[in-house]
Amino acid sequence: MVATSTLKTKSSECISELVDRRYDRAYIDKELDFWDHCLAEPQRHADVAEDRSCQQLAKMFEDCLSRAKKTTLHCSSVLVPEKLTRRIAREVLRLAACEPCGLRGCVLYVDLELDKGCKRLERIAYDATVVPTFELTLVFKQDGAAWPSLRDFLFMGTCFAPTLRHVLKLSPGFRLVKKKLYSSSAGTVVEEC
């Protein structure tokens, strides 16, 4: 059975026509109930898929920060504001929605804004089998209002200072820079959040 937008209700005329074609009445009711449900909630399947992608992206960002903590940032821990990675993931999905390959065509550069410029944390190709169609540069910002820990002050200037000694606190703000790779006329989009 095919559902179209012209079938609006379970009219007796429509049902009797299907019964005349030798369809079982219970089958017809079941099919019509299914399509009524689908028409009532058209975004449900799309929302579930988008939510799953959002969770995967947020997890990718958290994993990136976890790896960078010891390799690039040389700190003992990174404090991330609640739901920051989820907000970033939603923005990335929004920016990828109008691209030819969607998120699969994205190369994502993750940076951290420091006093002296930006430090590259990682390069992530969401799907390495797809030729990239756009680049996103995510710039995390440090929380400028964060106080350095007392332990950092105690270890400053001593020869016994551990290499992993400070806590990095991220700001709830971030910057996303989008650059299209397939179009010379398209400019760069900068989103400050």
How much is the pLDDT for 92? 93
Q: How many domains does the chain have?
A: 1
Average pLDDT estimate for 112-137: 90
Give whichever of 16-30, 42-56, 107-121 has the largest mean pLDDT: 107-121
Residue 175 lies in a domain: yes
User: Is the Cβ–Cβ distance between 7 and 38 less than 8 Å?
Assistant: no
Phi, psi for 15 (deg, rounded to 5): -65, -40
User: Across all residues in the chain, what is the average pLDDT?
Assistant: 75
Average pLDDT estimate for 136-155: 68
Residue 133 lies in a domain: yes
**DSSP element (H, E) containing 92:** helix 84-96
> pTM here?
0.64
Average pLDDT estimate for 39-45: 54
- Domain with 91, as residue range(s), is 39-155+164-192
Q: pLDDT tens digits, residue range 85-94?
A: 999 999 999 9
How much is the pLDDT for 188? 63
Residue 15 lies in a domain: no
Residue 51 lies in a domain: yes
- The domain that holds 92 is classified in CATH as 3.90.470.40
User: What residues contact 174, with CB distance under 8 A and at least 6 apart?
Assistant: 84, 88, 138, 139, 140, 141, 193
Residue 110 lies in a domain: yes
| Higher-scoring residue by pLDDT: 159, 34 | 34
Residue 151 lies in a domain: yes
Which pair of structure tokens corresponds to residue 63? Answer: 């994993």
Residue 145 lies in a domain: yes
User: What residues contact 9, with CB distance under 8 A and at least 6 apart?
Assistant: none
